A and B are shown apart, each in its own frame.
Chain A
């Protein structure tokens, strides 16, 4: 009986702790940056200029595929 009680208490505790964590999901910085880039390009009409900007990098050998557009 007492064993059952301590197990039940611990399980309730585990549930409570994990419930708290689900509420505190951390900010998805990488996804937010991508979304911000897209919106900023749209609002500020930066799209055409982005291509112009990446052109000079071609002179550098390799590693031009590293950054996704």
Chain B
């Protein structure tokens, strides 16, 4: 009988311990300040400056996921088209790398997808603050112009 209660007590302890651990780690810090993250952020900022004229002309637009997409290649002079496509590919590559490096900086590489989803959800909410006239694509593929927030 005595041993029986000891077992129950031990089992309760086993169940309670993880709850205590989880409570402690409920709101951990989220790190974005790491050399690799900063380098990618700077690269993305710099390339955004190069993409800006094309976003203004309507050649490029902002997709539903918050990514830059080719909207109307005809607006781009022929000799610049390849360059724009390359910039887009590089921006997408660095964007993905940014999510991966943030996950790694937090010691949780498995968070990469959560981080990517968070960024696209936040961008969806913030992209209406982009300058008036910039093109935004909705989830159904249709385009509309930003009213400038």
The interface of chain A, by Cβ under 8 A from chain B, is: 2-3, 6-7, 9-11, 13-15, 17-18, 20-22, 25, 27-46, 49-50, 52-53
B: contact size bracket: 35 or more
Complex: how many Å from CA A31 to CA B30? 6
Question: Could you give, for residues 113-149 of chain B, a 1 whenever the CB lies within 8 Å of some chain A CB and a 0 otherwise?
Answer: 0110011011100111111000000000000000011
The interface of chain B, by Cβ under 8 A from chain A, is: 2-3, 6-7, 10-11, 13-15, 17-18, 20-22, 25, 27-30, 32, 41, 44-45, 48, 66, 98, 102, 108, 111, 114-115, 118-119, 121-123, 126-131, 148-149
Chain A residues whose CB sits within 8 angstroms of the CB of B108 once the complex forms: 25, 27
* Chain A interface mostly: helix
Q: Using A11-B13, A35-B32, A52-B149 as known contacts, say yes or no to A41 and B126 having CB atoms under 8 A apart.
A: yes
